[in-house]
């Protein structure tokens, strides 16, 4: 079985080359043509997919070859792109940057090769003319199996500057330059970590999206981009799939998922795997004052921006007391990053104000200006927990500006984590609470979804027996 999918990878020569701006503008231009556009982001980032989703109206997905196997990554692409006229895949960092500086592992190049997708390389041509051809030629020569099919040049000083760069690249590299963009400070993307999702949801970035769409339509040959996307060959589905599409176990548990401006970072496959194994997902907003739904057999508190809404979260005393009571009754709760922070005693925000949180975890969190942690993590369970058995491993990503301080020497860590900079201990574990900074990708170890389902079902049965309704 194969899948015909028109697709293009938008890669950069490095971070800051302009690939996010090009990607968003291209998506907007394609959408204006009445096309169904599916967005993807290479790597673990949650932020860029929120832009894609807002522009296209289709939920963007992450494609990752370090957290996930090659087959699962390809399945995610084929599932999500079904019904789309064209898929636009935004790269990460520079085209060849990934986990290993000596190979393509985890890079945009590896993903483009596995998906047999043509690549458009975005080049910052500021202060360059013929030298831009040397840059492109270097990217072609580093790995000739990667199909760089076209170029978009960014930050040109004028149309005349663009023509100089275009003629040099096309002569020396033998590939088309399909468009350009000038320098426009109005197109700068807002600060990534401050309230991005609520700004998008309120429509505050619609003007930015329109301007970027206009710029791309004015400088890029959209028909040439579509033509290149159409040259991508048919892809074969993996022989074994993560998502079978079969019937759910019945009855399954009800899992309440926090979803609002403070909690919104979820890999969609995590939620879909829970549904695959039989869960019924319901959503609630701690920020809006929602308590955990009464029929919930488990809770999933994702990451997000609790520090930006700490005052509002702290003021909802009823929500905090309800969650405390439900946990004391045995309700299984899994929390990551922002959800982990919410379960501690307090968050001190960037202004130095301290806000009382739920208080289920004996620790306090303080925001800091510098990055506290960034990178891939392989997390190995130190003991049996909600999602894992002792010694079992799962992969994920850690990214936060906060520092957690526990007040006990024997703090019950849940994982030993391994990353590029060595190993460490991370997270928190009690009988029915599991929390940590690492954003886990369930598709790297699908057993975790099934195990969480079983723990929720166990709680549901016990609650039913206690109430006499089992």
Rg of the chain in Å (alpha carbons): 23
Q: Is the pLDDT of residue 413 over 60?
A: yes
Contact between 251 and 212 (Cβ < 8 Å): no
d(CA 452, CA 207): 42
Most confident range (mean pLDDT) of 24-28, 204-208, 404-408 is 24-28
Q: Is the pLDDT of residue 171 over 70?
A: yes
- Location of structure tokens 């590896």: 110
pLDDT band at 170 (very low <50, low <70, confident <90, very high): very high
pLDDT band at 162 (very low <50, low <70, confident <90, very high): very high
Q: Name the strand (E) or helix (H) holding 86.
A: strand 86-94
Give 8 or 186, the one with higher predicted confidence. 8
d(CA 357, CA 316): 9
Active site residues: 337
Work out the mean pLDDT of the chain and round it to a whole number.
92
pLDDT band at 197 (very low <50, low <70, confident <90, very high): low
How far from chain centre, in Å, is Cα 127? 34
Q: Is 457 helix (H, G, I), strand (E, B) or coil?
A: helix
* pLDDT value of residue 194: 44
Q: Which range (144-158, 220-234, 287-301, 414-428) has the least confidence? A: 414-428
Contact between 65 and 109 (Cβ < 8 Å): no
pLDDT digits (tens, 9 = 90+) for 101-113: 899 999 999 999 9
- The closest of 185, 180, 249 to 217, measured between CA atoms, is 180
Q: Is the pLDDT of residue 114 over 70?
A: yes
- The closest of 390, 407, 385, 280 to 336, measured between CA atoms, is 385
Cα distances from 392 to residues 268, 381, 427, 447, in angstroms, run 22, 6, 15, 10
Percentage of residues of the chain with pLDDT beyond 90 = 80
- Location of structure tokens 């999918």: 5
Sorted by where each starts, the structural domains of the chain and their CATH numbers stand as 3-235 (3.40.50.300), 254-468 (3.40.50.880)
- The closest of 183, 178, 163 to 220, measured between CA atoms, is 178
Contact between 298 and 256 (Cβ < 8 Å): yes
* pLDDT value of residue 191: 53
Residues 6+ away with beta carbon under 8 Å from 310:
347, 349, 353, 355, 357
- Location of structure tokens 């932020």: 47
d(CA 373, CA 377): 10
pLDDT band at 373 (very low <50, low <70, confident <90, very high): confident
Q: Which range (66-80, 179-193, 411-425) has the least confidence? A: 179-193
* pLDDT value of residue 192: 47
Most confident range (mean pLDDT) of 241-250, 313-322, 455-464 is 313-322
d(CA 168, CA 158): 16
d(CA 59, CA 49): 8
**Which residues are bridge partners to 281 per DSSP?**
255
The arithmetic mean of pLDDT across residues 253-259, rounded, is 97
pLDDT digits (tens, 9 = 90+) for 278-306: 999 999 999 999 999 999 999 999 999 89
pLDDT band at 200 (very low <50, low <70, confident <90, very high): low
Token duo for residue 470: 């089992």
Contact between 118 and 225 (Cβ < 8 Å): no
Long-range contacts at 46-52 (CB < 8 A, ≥ 24 apart): 46/265, 46/303, 46/439, 47/192, 47/196, 48/20, 48/23, 48/90, 50/196, 50/197, 50/200, 51/20, 51/23, 51/24, 51/189, 51/200, 51/205, 51/209, 52/23, 52/24, 52/27, 52/88, 52/90
The arithmetic mean of pLDDT across residues 180-190, rounded, is 73
The arithmetic mean of pLDDT across residues 438-461, rounded, is 96
pLDDT digits (tens, 9 = 90+) for 339-363: 999 999 999 999 999 999 999 999 9
Q: Is the pLDDT of residue 193 over 50?
A: no
Q: Is the pLDDT of residue 243 over 60?
A: yes
- The closest of 46, 38, 51, 42 to 3, measured between CA atoms, is 38
* pLDDT value of residue 408: 80
The arithmetic mean of pLDDT across residues 442-458, rounded, is 96
**Which residues are bridge partners to 38 per DSSP?**
87
* pLDDT value of residue 46: 86
Sign of the C-alpha dihedral, residues 42, 386, 373, 283?
positive
pLDDT band at 208 (very low <50, low <70, confident <90, very high): confident
d(CA 243, CA 239): 12
d(CA 26, CA 208): 13
d(CA 150, CA 159): 18
* pLDDT value of residue 247: 54
pLDDT band at 434 (very low <50, low <70, confident <90, very high): very high
Token duo for residue 233: 């060959």
d(CA 327, CA 66): 34
pLDDT band at 201 (very low <50, low <70, confident <90, very high): low
pLDDT band at 371 (very low <50, low <70, confident <90, very high): confident
Percentage of residues of the chain with pLDDT beyond 70 = 93
């Amino acid at each position: 079985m194969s899948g015909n999918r028109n697709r293009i990878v938008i890669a950069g020569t490095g971070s800051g080359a302009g690939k996010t701006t090009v990607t968003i503008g291209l998506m907007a231009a394609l959408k204006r043509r009445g096309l169904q556009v599916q967005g993807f982001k290479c790597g673990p980032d949650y932020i860029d997919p929120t832009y894609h989703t807002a522009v296209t109206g289709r939920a963007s997905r992450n494609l990752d070859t370090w957290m996930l196997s090659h087959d699962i990554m390809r399945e995610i692409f084929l599932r999500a792109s079904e019904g789309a006229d064209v898929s636009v895949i935004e790269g990460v960092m520079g085209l060849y940057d990934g986990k290993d500086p000596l190979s393509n592992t985890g890079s945009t190049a590896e993903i483009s090769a596995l998906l047999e997708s043509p690549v458009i390389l975005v080049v910052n041509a500021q202060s360059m003319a013929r030298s831009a051809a040397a840059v492109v030629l270097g990217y072609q020569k580093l790995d000739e199996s990667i199909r760089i099919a076209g170029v978009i040049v960014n930050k040109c000083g004028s149309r005349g500057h663009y023509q100089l760069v275009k003629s040099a690249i096309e002569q020396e590299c033998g590939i088309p330059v399909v468009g350009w963009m000038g320098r426009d400070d109005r197109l700068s993307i807002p600060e990534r970590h401050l309230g991005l999702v609520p700004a998008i949801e309120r429509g505050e970035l619609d003007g930015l999206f329109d301007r970027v769409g206009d710029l791309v339509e004015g400088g890029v040959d959209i028909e040439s981009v579509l033509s290149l996307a159409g040259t991508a060959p048919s892809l074969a589905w993996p022989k074994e799939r993560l998502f079978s599409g079969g019937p759910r176990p019945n009855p399954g548990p009800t899992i309440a998922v926090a979803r609002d401006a403070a909690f919104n970072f979820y890999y969609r496959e995590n939620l879909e795997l829970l549904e695959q194994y039989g869960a019924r997902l319901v959503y609630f907003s701690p920020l809006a004052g929602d308590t955990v739904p009464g029929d919930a057999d488990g809770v999933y508190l994702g990451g997000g921006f609790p520090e930006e809404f700490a005052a509002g979260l702290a003021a909802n005393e009823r929500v905090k007391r309800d969650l405390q009571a439900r946990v004391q009754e045995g309700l299984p709760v899994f929390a990551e990053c922002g959800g982990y922070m919410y379960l501690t005693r307090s968050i001190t925000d960037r202004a130095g104000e301290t806000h009382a949180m739920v208080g289920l975890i004996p620790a306090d969190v303080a925001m800091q200006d510098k990055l506290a942690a960034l990178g891939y993590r392989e997390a190995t369970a130190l003991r049996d927990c909600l999602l894992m058995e002792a010694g079992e491993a799962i992969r994920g990503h850690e990214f936060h500006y906060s520092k957690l301080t526990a007040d006990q020497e024997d703090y019950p860590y849940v994982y030993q984590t391994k990353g590029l900079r060595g190993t460490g201990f991370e997270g928190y574990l009690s009988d029915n609470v599991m929390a940590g900074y690492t954003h886990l990708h369930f598709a790297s170890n699908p057993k975790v979804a099934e195990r969480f389902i079983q723990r929720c079902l166990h709680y549901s049965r016990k609650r039913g027996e206690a109430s006499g309704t089992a």
